[in-house]
Structure 1
Amino acid sequence: MTTERDAAGGGAQRRAPAGAAVLREDVTDAIRAAVFAELAEVGYGRMSMEGIARRAGVGKAAVYRRWRSKLPLVLDLVPAVAAGGLPVPDTGTLHGDVREVLEVAARALGHPVAAQIVPDLLAEAARSPEMAEALRSALRGTYGGIAEAVVRQAVARGELAPTTDPGLALDLLAGPLYWHVSVMRAPLPPPTLDHLARATTAALTTS
């Protein structure tokens, strides 16, 4: 059996070992990039496997060879959407850590691509239990881990009680931020971030 013909217009074919199609990593990367672009431009509802293949410059077979439909394809990319490159802060104070998380997360949510994709996927999650579970798992794994680290560091410094709930920290960090940036579509200038960080820190220390 031959390797996949990754370009939409065809291309040279080579013999694949063991009679199986070789899935080229550069083709997979091109498809993933095309999915992000399609989600941002047309949304999940209007996105199609054909449109993804066309944008990626590959044949439809190359897409279907990897994912049977657009739902598993998008589900495969959800962790990357959720992660957003957020680091675990370690500024030396609870307020500093909270402020840094809010600033980096606000910047990630405000990115033009994320601003289109995240609300669209959340809307789809209301109709798709699979999408809802994938988003919950990805967000819990990424942002939940950051919230746990912030709480753990603050407990070690004596700023928070050992009984502080990381789940509450996650709610306080993510809820107001998402409302402000993704729902209200309002900017978050440094004074607003400072105010939100102080309020979040005060809520955690008095909980």
Structure 2
Amino acid sequence: MSTRRTPAGAAVMQPQVTAAIRAAAFTELAEVGYGKLSMEAVARRAGVSKPTLYRRWPSKQQLVLALIAEVAVTAAETPDTGTLRGDLRAFLEVTAAGLAHPLAARIIPDLLAEAVRTPALAEALGTGLGEQRRERVAELLRRGIERGELPGDLNIELALDFTVAPLFWRQTLRGGTTDPGYLDELTEMVLHALRASPKGRA
């Protein structure tokens, strides 16, 4: 009976190595920005060899795109609390915390600026972080419609813009803070707007 050999180190990317590279890449992005990011600096900060890094990600663009895709999965998670108000409040709290993270607060504006010059990065931000998050929030809204908490003719696309935009504007563009009181008030305002369907009032 034959036994399977574990591939040698060149063929294996151990979880702790991946985690170290991920942390190093985020820190480098926050400190120097995408334009000055170098694979050599990431490898040095992560404590790995350059061949180890390049075997997994041949370029800094591929590394950053992979990070965006990974973050998108976590960022898109939305809880099902049983009520629209609870779902919306939880979503806003998680989103606010993510935008307020020291690394995210420095990385996101830089990536948005770089995306103007780098089509692949723009697409990753749009289809990764953007679309995955929007689809999860759309699920949240559809649950509200099914429960009868939102009008059946709700314009979901417009509702998605309205739900996400206030936090993004306040934290990313203005650098404002979001305490629990602000999130409570924003939840109520968004709920009021979503329930006042223009079609329903026609």
TM-score by length of 2: 0.85
Within the candidate set 36, 47, 50, 2:37 is matched to 47
Within the candidate set 138, 159, 177, 2:149 is matched to 159
Distance 2:72 2:108 in 1: 8
Distance 1:24 1:146 in 2: 30
2:90 aligned with 1:118:
no
Distance 2:176 2:99 in 1: 11
The residue that corresponds to 1:94 in the other structure is 84
Larger RCO of the pair (alpha carbons < 8 Å, separation 6+) = 2
* Mapping for residues 166-185 of structure 1, pairs under 5 Å: 166-185=156-175
Within the candidate set 64, 76, 90, 1:74 is matched to 64
The residue that corresponds to 1:6 in the other structure is none
2:192 aligned with 1:202:
yes
Task: Please tell me whether the aligned partners of residues 29 and 107 of structure 2 are also in contact (alpha carbons under 8 angstroms).
Answer: yes
Cα RMSD (Å): 2.2
Comparing 77-86 with 170-179, greater Cα deviation is found at: 77-86
Distance 1:29 1:189 in 2: 31
* Pairs aligned (count): 192
The residue that corresponds to 1:139 in the other structure is 129
Gaps of 5+ in 2: 198-202
Task: Please tell me whether the aligned partners of residues 78 and 90 of structure 2 are also in contact (alpha carbons under 8 angstroms).
Answer: no
2:5 aligned with 1:21:
no
What's the offset of the Cα at 1:32? 1.9
The residue that corresponds to 1:129 in the other structure is 119
Cα shift readout 1:76-127 (whole Å, capped 9, x = no counterpart): 1102333445542333332332222111110111011111122221111111
The residue that corresponds to 2:200 in the other structure is none
SS in structure 2 of the partner of residue 164 of structure 1: coil
1:174 maps to amino acid: V
Distance 2:17 2:91 in 1: 34
TM-score by length of 1: 0.83
